[in-house]
């Protein structure tokens, strides 16, 4: 039986593997911090701070090249499959060019750690973890490129398979290298970094092998795609730069929020790390749903069919709200249990002070997890249709407003972390309303993407 276009069944077929894929990525970071938490809260905090800072340096390029998902989807919907592979070639070229630029920015990150006045027991391992992750970031860039291609053509099960293998490799390698099992020395936070790098390479290998399969090469004319194409590069730069700039500025603001809490006190650092770890468990899988709706909206807009694109958005909304409702119950009813996961082997006074704050933060996070799905589905739909600049503007404005409020509350006015967290939660609620109003305006239905620069 043929699946109805824009239906919940089609949305499930495209998005569910991506939800699993991003869920695996969440488990990877969760596992790193869970293993390190047994060695002490400062090691767990260091992995979060170092990992987020590494992401700051690459998020613009991840967002820029990641917009290939929408472009590939539009070419796929317009039945111009040879241009799907050519689009991948362009983002691989871009990734090769930008890698040295990323490495050049390493001293800036080290200066940021010092500027934020993070305690030495956290800052030193944070620099170690950051250095390992950032030097291997080329692997992450290439993995993002190939994942964007497969997401765009709707073959999301391949992306899911790569993510599952990456997750399993990460858990095994981190366990062995962090704690020193099976004859390996105990490398602690270095082991977490090296384990993540090894796992990422395994995921990339799966995607590359799938891409160069004989059947795939024939269908997308891959042999003739290994060259630059200025038209596609212009599309990527024009539509992708807002997505890249948004991701970069939002991650920078998000990291500033985390580091500001970290600089307040060890108990605040521990509590916010635990809260955001669980928030990411809820939030990141929804990015898979966002990628799925970006792909489907892009496909139907490539066919000049905005009505079916809207039906896909409605279907995605049903999926997202159902998932988020479950997470709301989990956060609201079982926060003590969720915090217990990160209890160190040796309980000290810092942990005893941090635990009630962490429980408070996790429980309060339940207020906005339900609307996370609304925000991500609508933002993904707008990006798939090419409405990237507006999405960037409102998202960046709100993230930096939150970062400024946190800095003022904690560093200038000496307001408690509890009150500050309440304001953060309220501000996040604004996201969904603004994206809903933009989507409802219908501007996205009139945007040209793949033929914009054609004569």
Lowest mean pLDDT among 337-341, 354-358, 446-450: 446-450
Tokens linked to 386: 């090419």
Q: Is the pLDDT of residue 348 over 80?
A: no
pLDDT tens digits, one per residue of 397-424: 888 888 899 889 888 888 888 888 888 8
Residue 1 has pLDDT above 60, yes or no: no
The answer to whether residue 455 scores a pLDDT higher than 60 is no
More confident: 447 or 5 = 447
Indicate whether 178 pLDDT > 60. Answer: yes
pLDDT at 90: 94
| Mean pLDDT calculated for residue range 178-182 | 90
Q: Read off the pLDDT of each residue in 107-113 and give the average, rounded to a whole number.
A: 85
Q: What integer is the mean pLDDT of 416-443? A: 82
Q: What is the mean pLDDT of the chain?
A: 84
pLDDT surpassing 90 at residue 201: yes
Secondary structure (H, E, C), the chain: CCCCCCCHHHHHHHHHHHHHHHHHHHHHHHHHHHHHHCCCHHHHHHHHHHHHHHHHHHHHHHHHHHCHHHHHHHHHHCCCCHHHHHHHHHHHHHHHHHHHHHHHCHHHHHHHHHHCCCCHHHHHHHHHHHHHHHHCHHHHHHHHHHHHHHHHCCCHHHHHHHHHHHHHHHHHHHHHHHHCCCCCCCCCHHHHHHHHHHHHHHHHHHHHHHHCCHHHHHHCCHHHCCCCCHHHHHHHHHHHHHHHHHHHHHHHHHHHHHHHHHHHCHHHHHHHHHHHHHHHHHHHHHHHHHHHHHHHHHHHHHCCCHHHHHHHHHHHHHHHHHHHHHHHHHHHHCHHHHHHCCCCCCCCHHHHHHHHHHHHHHHHHHHHHHHHHHHHHHHHHHHHHCCHHHHHHHHHHHHHHHHHHHHHHHHHCCCCHHHHHHHHHHHHHHHHHHHHHHHHHCHHHHCCCCCCCCC
Share of the chain above pLDDT 70, in %: 96
Distance CA 398, CA 392 (A): 10
Confidence label for 267 from pLDDT (cuts 50, 70 and 90)? confident
pLDDT tier, 177 (very low <50, low <70, confident <90, very high otherwise): very high
> At 454, is the pLDDT very low, low, confident or very high (cuts 50, 70, 90)?
low
The stretch 256-272 carries a mean pLDDT of: 80
Highest mean pLDDT among 203-207, 240-244, 279-283, 318-322 belongs to: 203-207
pTM: 0.75
Give 208-244 pLDDT, tens digit per residue: 999 999 999 999 999 988 998 898 898 888 888 887 8
């Amino acid at each position: 039986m043929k699946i109805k276009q824009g239906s919940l069944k089609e949305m499930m077929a495209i998005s569910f593997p991506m939800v699993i894929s991003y869920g695996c990525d969440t488990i990877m970071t969760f596992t790193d911090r869970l293993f390190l938490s047994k060695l002490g809260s400062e090691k767990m905090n260091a992995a979060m701070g170092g990992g987020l800072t590494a992401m700051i340096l690459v998020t613009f390029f991840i967002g820029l090249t990641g917009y290939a998902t929408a472009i590939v989807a539009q070419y796929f919907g317009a039945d111009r499959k040879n241009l799907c592979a050519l689009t991948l070639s362009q983002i691989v070229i871009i990734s090769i060019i930008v890698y040295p630029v990323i490495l050049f920015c390493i001293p800036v990150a080290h200066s940021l750690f010092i500027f934020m006045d993070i305690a030495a027991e956290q800052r030193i391992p944070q620099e170690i973890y950051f250095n390992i992750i950032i030097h291997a970031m080329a692997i992450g860039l290439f993995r993002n490129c190939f994942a964007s291609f497969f997401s765009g053509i709707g073959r999301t099960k391949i992306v899911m398979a790569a993510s599952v293998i990456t997750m399993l490799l990460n858990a095994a390698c981190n366990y062995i290298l962090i704690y020193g099992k099976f004859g390996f020395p105990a490398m602690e936070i270095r082991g977490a970094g090296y384990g993540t790098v090894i796992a990422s390479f395994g995921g990339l290998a799966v995607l590359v092998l799938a891409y160069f399969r004989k059947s795939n090469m024939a269908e997308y004319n891959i042999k003739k795609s290994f060259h630059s194409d200025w038209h596609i590069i212009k599309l990527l730069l024009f539509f992708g730069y807002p997505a890249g700039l948004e991701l970069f500025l939002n991650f920078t603001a998000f990291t500033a929020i985390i580091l500001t809490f970290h600089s307040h006190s060890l108990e605040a650092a521990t509590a916010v790390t635990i809260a955001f770890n669980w928030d990411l468990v809820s939030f990141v899988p929804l990015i898979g749903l966002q990628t799925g709706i970006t792909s489907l909206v892009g496909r139907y807009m490539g066919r000049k069919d905005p009505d079916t694109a809207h039906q896909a958005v409605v279907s995605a909304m049903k999926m997202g709200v159902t998932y988020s409702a479950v997470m709301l119950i989990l956060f609201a009813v079982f926060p003590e249990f969720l915090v217990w996961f990160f209890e160190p082997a040796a309980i000290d006074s810092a942990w005893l002070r941090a635990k009630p704050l962490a429980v408070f933060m996790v429980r309060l996070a339940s207020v906005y997890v339900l609307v996370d799905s609304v925000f991500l589905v609508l933002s993904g739909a707008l990006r798939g249709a090419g409405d990237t600049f507006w999405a960037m503007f409102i998202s960046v404005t709100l993230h930096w407003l939150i970062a400024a409020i946190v800095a003022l509350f904690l560093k200038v006015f000496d307001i408690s972390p509890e009150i500050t967290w309440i304001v953060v939660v309220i501000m996040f609620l604004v996201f969904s309303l603004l994206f809903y109003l933009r989507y409802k305006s219908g501007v996205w239905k009139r945007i040209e993407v793949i033929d914009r620069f054609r004569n």
